[in-house]
Chain A
Amino acid sequence: DTEVTQTPKHLVMGMTNKKSLKCEQHMGHRAMYWYKQKAKKPPELMFVYSYEKLSINESVPSRFSPECPNSSLLNLHLHALQPEDSALYLCASSQQGHLRPQHFGDGTRLSIL
């Protein structure tokens, strides 16, 4: 079992809906990440939080809004998504600093109708 927990596992939403993805870790990691992964492709970095502050935004459209309420939780708020946003959304966490391995959750499979 992974130590990074993501909910829900599956999500189907319409283009006008608002939903949120949740991620939780209790490993004491102070860096947390959101990735998007399309089928047969590697994960693509979206956001990085370091000590609960947004440190990297990879030019992600504003219809994706991240939030880090505390050191254990990471949310991704979704609004007015497009069909091309359908993908596996992965959360990861790591200790702060260079060369710390990132530990991934099993993702949320998102489908946009």
Chain B
Amino acid sequence: EDQVTQSPEALRLQEGESSSLNCSYTVSGLRGLFWYRQDPGKGPEFLFTLYSAGEEKEKERLKATLTKKESFLHITAPKPEDSATYLCAVQMRETSGSRLTFGEGTQLTVNP
């Protein structure tokens, strides 16, 4: 069965304390993986698309990486404004259109 698992469920960091969020997937054929950020009461905000193992993308304090089994979202020197729920989603080869399968998310809190 295709599955997307994010860990940890929740993460508390002090400002400036770097860490990583994990998204592991067991799918029969990965077309691509997306990272989103969601603030309370808002819709998900697109961050990155990763297509192939070994790929890396960066944006400000965030860097996303992809292997054949998982993706990491590295947060370097986070600030309180990085507090949000981070969602990963996969698109599988055999699915039609742009169907995404989301993980349950990691709720990140960065304390000042």
Contact = CB atoms under 8 A, between A and B. Distances in A.
A109 to B, nearest CB: 8
Which has the most chain A C-beta neighbours within 10 Å: B44, B89, B99? B44
Interface in B12-34: 31-32, 34
Contacts of A55: 96-97
A104 B14 CA distance: 29
Interface in A33-64: 33, 41-43, 45, 48, 50, 55-56
Given A106-B43, A107-B43, A99 B31 contact: yes
Interface residues of B, number: 24
30 contacts: A2-B42, A2-B43, A4-B43, A31-B97, A33-B98, A42-B87, A42-B89, A42-B104, A42-B105, A48-B98, A48-B99, A55-B96, A56-B96, A56-B97, A56-B99, A90-B44, A98-B91, A98-B98, A99-B31, A99-B49, A100-B98, A101-B46, A101-B49, A102-B34, A102-B46, A102-B98, A102-B100, A104-B36, A105-B43, A106-B41
Interface of A: 2, 4, 31, 33, 41-43, 45, 48, 50, 55-56, 90, 92, 94, 97-107, 109
